[in-house]
């Protein structure tokens, strides 16, 4: 099922003037990103990007109020370049039929992509991205296996970031005590990630599993857990008012194809921290990465 791009636009036929213009702009941004199509950090010549993952609980904070402006302020204050959001509503009755992605895009000035995981209350729920970078490609995978709970999926983007093609992936996994569905979902996630090699990949999301779980161990076969590399303390993100569980995670791909004769673009997490907020029942995780060349 296809995801949807900025301001609710659906898929357009290949070859339309819009798409050709967009692709030309994307190529120019990739080549000259440091000159104006990237974030302020790239504009100054830095090779770093800031990525946030946040389960926004359909915009409902600890006070029971749906307030997208405080979520937008949090994103802007964090100076995030890419934001992965889970539990996003679009046109759902419980949130007064607000299109959360369009609203957050307008409030932050960032482009959005949305991947539906389920129809709910005459609207849609799913995962969303906000980004300051041009989107070259987007895909939305609905996992084959799901429990009796809400279906889940994997939203995938190729971005032009700091002169590189960067892949970002966004998911929320099953929260059952039985981990069999999560394990199946992670197998699908890893298979999806392989098609993007050798580009660097960042995977964000609510994994609904402790760091010592079987699913997290599977993730670490292909990816590094950024908290283990660059974090300090427990890294707990849930529940927001008394965090005790580290279930909101970010992973970065391990370099592919290292040899004595090839250079490999890689991303290195240089800092990561949990942000304080009452805008959801989870806390956001913010990581700063730098591009590096490994031989």
Query: Which pLDDT score, from 0 to 100, does residue 265 have?
Result: 65
Q: Give per-residue pLDDT as tens, 201-248.
A: 999 999 999 999 999 999 999 999 999 999 999 999 999 999 999 999
Q: Which of 225, 182, 188 is nearest to 203 (CA)?
A: 225
For residues 21 and 71, which has the higher predicted lDDT (pLDDT)?
71
Sign of CA dihedral 151, 119, 204, 3: positive
> Quick one: which of 27, 36, 72, 38 has its CA closest to 54?
72
152 within 8 A of 115, measured Cβ to Cβ = no
Which residue is associated with the tokens 């800092």?
A: 271
Bridge partners (DSSP) listed for residue 128: 85, 114
Class of domain 36-294: alpha beta
How far apart, in whole angstroms, are the C-alpha atoms of residue 210 and residue 111? 32
Predicted pLDDT of residue 205: 98
List the structure tokens of 122.
């005459």
Averaged pLDDT score across all residues of the chain: 85
In this structure, are residues 127 and 156 in contact, taking their beta carbons and an 8 Å threshold? Answer: no
What distance in Å separates the CA atoms of residue 153 and residue 228, rounded to the nearest whole number? 25
Residue 31's pLDDT band (cuts 50, 70, 90): very low
- Predicted local distance difference test score (pLDDT) of residue 264: 55
| pLDDT digits 0-9 by tens, 260-287 | 444 556 889 999 999 999 999 999 999 9
Kindly report the backbone phi and psi dihedral angles of residue 231, in degrees, each rounded to the nearest multiple of 5, phi listed first: -95, 170
For the chain, how far is it from start to end, CA to CA, in angstroms? 38
Residue 24 has pLDDT above 50, yes or no: no
Alpha helix (H) ranges present in the chain?
17-32, 40-43, 68-78, 100-108, 180-194, 214-222, 226-230
Task: Output the pLDDT for position 148.
Answer: 61
Question: Where are the domains positioned within the chain?
Answer: 36-294
Q: What is the spatial distance between Cα 65 and Cα 59, in angstroms, rounded to a whole number? A: 8
Q: Answer whether residue 28 shows pLDDT above 80.
A: no
The length of the chain is 295
Specify the pairing of strand 82-90 against strand 48-55: parallel
Under DSSP, is residue 87 helix (H, G, I), strand (E, B) or coil? strand
Q: What is the predicted pLDDT for the residue at 266?
A: 80
């Amino acid at each position: 099922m296809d995801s949807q791009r900025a301001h609710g636009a659906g898929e357009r036929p290949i070859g339309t003037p819009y798409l050709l213009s967009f692709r030309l702009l994307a190529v120019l941004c990739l080549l000259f990103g440091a000159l104006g199509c990237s974030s302020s950090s790239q504009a100054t010549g830095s090779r770093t990007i800031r990525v946030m993952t946040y389960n926004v609980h359909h915009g409902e904070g600890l006070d029971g109020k749906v307030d997208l402006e405080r979520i937008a302020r949090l994103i802007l204050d964090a100076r995030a370049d890419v934001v992965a959001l889970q539990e996003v509503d679009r046109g759902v009755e419980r949130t007064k039929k607000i299109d959360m992605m369009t609203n957050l895009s307008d409030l932050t000035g960032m482009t959005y992509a949305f991947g539906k995981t389920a129809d709910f209350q005459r609207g849609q729920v799913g995962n969303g991205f906000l980004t300051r970078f041009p989107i070259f490609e987007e895909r939305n995978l609905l996992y084959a296996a799901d429990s009796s709970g809400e279906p889940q999926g994997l939203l995938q983007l190729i971005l032009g970031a700091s002169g590189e093609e960067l892949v970002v992936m966004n998911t929320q996994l099953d929260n059952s005590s039985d981990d069999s569905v999560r394990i199946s979902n992670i197998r699908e996630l890893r298979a999806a990630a392989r098609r993007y090699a050798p580009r660097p990949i960042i995977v964000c999301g609510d994994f609904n599993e402790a760091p010592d779980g079987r699913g997290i161990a599977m993730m670490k076969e292909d990816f590094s857990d950024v908290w283990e590399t660059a974090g300090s303390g427990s890294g707990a993100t849930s529940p927001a008012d008394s965090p005790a569980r580290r279930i909101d995670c970010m992973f970065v791909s391990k370099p592919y194809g290292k040899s004595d004769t090839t250079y490999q673009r890689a991303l290195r997490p240089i800092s990561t921290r949990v942000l304080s907020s009452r805008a959801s029942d989870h806390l956001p995780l913010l990581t700063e990465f730098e591009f590096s060349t490994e031989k």
